[in-house]
């Protein structure tokens, strides 16, 4: 896989009822990263998103007319555009609920404009991700993963993954760069089965890391989001 370059005229929609926050985001991104458009309510944001089709949405959680999670689900029902949520509330449970609703990233207020710029650039790169070849080969940090065969090599040496480990790794790679909650991953691999998702995933993720990570103690490919889930980083 390869990344196409950032598109200078990418449109970013900021849905936030606070004018000062919209101004901070607009000044932080500028024309060099994206053209910023704004909406001050959830319903207005959904309408603007439908008409303008932005490349990315920055969404405030505490909107005056509807909950940010509702807006997130409404956008996700028809679009795969990246959604970064901003919120002054930052509990693990809330973060997990937003990711379940379809958000791609989460930032707590107050936030660093430098970090916001970096996260927006990362999400836009992933939005422009295009397949480099029909082989579906991914190379990252010394690991070569071929989802079509399937096979995986660590520094050129083949390693064996069980079927469950493959299913887990595939689910994470298919959403590379996005944190998947324990519930999302469990559903993708085990369907409607019952069990302790967090504990079961911990065991299998530990095994996968031993096989594909350069340093399993300090993983760079499969990253833990404490209390929430896991994320595959294909540009560590």
Domains and CATH numbers, the chain: 2-129 (3.40.50.2300), 133-232 (1.10.10.10)
Distance CA 68, CA 111 (A): 18
Q: What is the mean pLDDT of residues 46-70?
A: 91
Distance CA(57)–CA(30), nearest Å, equals: 15
- pTM confidence score: 0.64
Report the range of poorest mean pLDDT among 55-59, 129-133, 195-199.
129-133
CB 55 within 8 A of CB 36: no
Residue for token digits 């500028």? 30
74 SS3 class: helix
- Residue 217's pLDDT is 93
Average pLDDT (108-136) is 76
pLDDT over 90 percentage in the chain:
41
Specify the pLDDT at position 131: 45
What value does the mean pLDDT take over residues 62-71?
Answer: 89
> Tokens for 124?
């836009």
Paired tokens of 54: 């932005």
pLDDT (tens digit, 9 = 90+) per residue, 5-45?
344 568 999 999 999 999 999 999 886 777 899 999 999 99
The partner residues of 38 in beta bridges, in order of sequence, read 14
Which tokens in the block code for residue 153?
A: 């090599």
135 falls in which pLDDT band (50, 70, 90)?
very low
pLDDT, average across residues 145-164:
89
Q: Which of 105-119, 170-184, 189-203 has the lowest mean pLDDT?
A: 189-203
Q: Which among 77-81, 93-97, 182-186, 218-222 has the top mean pLDDT?
A: 218-222
> pLDDT for 184-194, tens place per residue?
888 888 876 66
Predicted pLDDT at 93: 79
* Amino acid 176: pLDDT: 84
Give residue 100's pLDDT.
Answer: 79
Tokens of 139: 């190379």
């Amino acid at each position: 896989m390869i990344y196409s370059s950032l598109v200078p005229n990418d449109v970013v929609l900021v849905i936030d009822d606070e004018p000062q926050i919209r101004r901070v985001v607009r000044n932080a991104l500028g024309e060099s990263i994206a053209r910023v458009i704004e909406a001050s309510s959830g319903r207005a944001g959904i309408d603007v998103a439908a008409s303008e089709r932005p490349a990315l949405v920055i969404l405030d959680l505490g909107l005056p007319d509807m909950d940010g999670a509702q807006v997130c689900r409404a956008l996700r029902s028809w679009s795969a555009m990246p959604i970064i949520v901003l919120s002054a509330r930052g509990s693990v449970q809330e973060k997990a609920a937003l990711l379940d609703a379809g958000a791609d990233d989460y930032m707590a207020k107050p936030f660093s404009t430098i970090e916001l710029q970096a996260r927006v650039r990362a999400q836009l790169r992933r939005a422009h991700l295009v397949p480099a070849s029909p082989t579906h080969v991914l190379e990252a940090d010394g690991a070569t993963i071929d989802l079509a065969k399937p096979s995986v090599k660590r520094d050129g040496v083949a390693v064996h993954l069980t079927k469950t480990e493959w299913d887990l790794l595939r689910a994470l790679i298919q959403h590379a760069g996005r944190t998947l909650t324990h519930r999302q991953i469990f559903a993708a691999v085990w369907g409607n089965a019952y069990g302790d998702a967090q504990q079961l995933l911990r065991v299998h993720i530990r095994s996968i890391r031993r096989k594909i990570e350069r340093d399993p103690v300090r993983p760079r490919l499969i990253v833990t989001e404490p209390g929430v889930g896991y994320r595959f980083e294909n540009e560590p």
